């Protein structure tokens, strides 16, 4: 029985590690596509969404590292690498927030309009579906392992889902109405999410929480 339980735990942690890697590579691809077409189509919301995806890669590497440690039977207390990754993530989110705020305000003042937001619609729809699949499996694995850390990661993926919805609304709204300010407003909302994610990252680096929602209210230290 004990051996079977250990084998099952190892299988679940391998799944969790794979999900973390999928998230990293997905965000890399999403970031490249979003930044490329966001710059080409002059849509701030899509460009900002892409930069946010790149920052999520840094956070994802920290999560992958944490899951691998948990799979080796270590405690969920964050090590030096994870804390440093969180600080870099938090700083990058704050820089993104400042850049999006400045660009969005300038865009509103100048009455700038994107060339098109079709790619924003496509990227956001793909992201919504992908994030829902990742949330489902991360929650399933996290529940099976009774892991606050993995459940917290699933909760953070829900934040990415909300960002995708914001991008979809801004892109679809502009495509249907031609109101250029919708793109800038969408980027302002993304800036707010980026600020909250940055604050969350610094809090986690200081050990003040495990992230993104009350789904992990028991705290990381309760694991193992």
Q: What is the dihedral of CA 48, 211, 9, 132, to 10 degrees?
A: -40
pLDDT in tens, 78-92: 777 778 888 888 899
* Residue 111 confidence (pLDDT): 86
Confidence class of residue 3 from pLDDT cuts 50, 70 and 90? confident
Q: pLDDT tens digits for 5-18?
A: 777 888 889 999 99
For tokens 């030096």, the residue is 80
Instruction: Name the more confident of 74 and 101.
Output: 101
The backbone region for 113, taken as left when phi is positive above 0, alpha when psi lies in -120 to 50, beta otherwise, is beta
- What tokens does 215 get? 């789904």
Contacts 24+ apart (CB under 8 A), 93-97: 93/52, 93/55, 93/194, 93/195, 93/197, 93/198, 93/201, 94/194, 94/195, 94/198, 96/48, 96/51, 96/52, 96/55, 96/191, 96/194, 96/198, 97/191, 97/192, 97/194, 97/195, 97/198
More confident residue, 132 or 212: 132
Q: How far apart are CA 29 and CA 34, in angstroms?
A: 9
- Look up the CATH number of domain 2-222: 1.20.1510
pLDDT for position 195: 93
Which residues make Cβ contacts (< 8 Å) with residue 100, sequence separation at least 6?
A: 44, 48, 187, 188, 190, 191, 194
Note the pLDDT of residue 76.
64
- On the question of pLDDT at 117 being above 90, the answer is yes
Residue 40's pLDDT is what?
93
Give the pLDDT mean for 106-119: 90
pLDDT score recorded for residue 10 = 86
Residues sharing a CB contact under 8 Å with residue 203, sequence separation 6 or more, in sequence order: 209
Q: State pLDDT tens for residues 50-86.
A: 999 999 998 899 889 888 888 887 766 677 777 888 8
pLDDT band at residue 212 using 50, 70 and 90 as cut-offs:
low
Q: What count of Cα atoms within 13 Å lies in the side-chain half-sphere of residue 124?
A: 25
CB 186 within 8 A of CB 168: no
Every domain of the chain and the residues it spans: 2-222
End-to-end CA distance of the chain: 19
Grade residue 152 by pLDDT with cuts at 50, 70 and 90: confident
The pLDDT tens digits for 159-211 are 899 999 999 999 999 999 999 899 999 999 999 999 998 898 888 888 765 55
pLDDT at 220 over 70: no
Helix (H, G, I), strand (E, B) or coil at 75: coil
């Amino acid at each position: 029985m004990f051996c079977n339980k250990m084998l099952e735990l190892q299988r679940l942690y391998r799944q969790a590690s794979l999900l973390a890697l999928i998230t990293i590579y997905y965000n890399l691809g999403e970031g490249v596509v979003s930044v490329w077409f966001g710059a080409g189509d002059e849509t701030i919301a899509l460009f900002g969404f892409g930069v946010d995806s790149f920052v999520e890669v840094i956070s994802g590497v920290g999560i992958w590292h944490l899951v691998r440690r948990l799979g080796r039977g270590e405690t969920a207390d964050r090590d030096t690498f994870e804390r440093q990754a969180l600080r870099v993530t938090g700083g990058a989110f704050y820089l993104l927030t400042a850049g999006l705020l400045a660009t969005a305000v300038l865009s509103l003042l100048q009455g700038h309009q994107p060339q098109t937001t079709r790619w924003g619609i496509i990227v956001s729809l793909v992201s919504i579906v992908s994030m829902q699949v990742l949330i489902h499996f991360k929650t399933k694995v996290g529940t099976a392992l009774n892991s606050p850390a993995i459940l917290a990661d699933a909760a953070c993926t829900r934040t990415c889902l909300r960002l995708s919805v914001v991008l979809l609304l801004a892109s679809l709204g502009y495509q249907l109405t031609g109101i250029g300010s919708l793109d800038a407003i969408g980027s302002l909302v993304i800036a707010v999410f980026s600020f909250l994610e940055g604050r969350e990252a610094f809090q986690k680096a200081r050990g003040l929480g495990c992230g993104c929602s009350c789904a992990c209210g028991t705290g990381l230290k309760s694991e193992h």
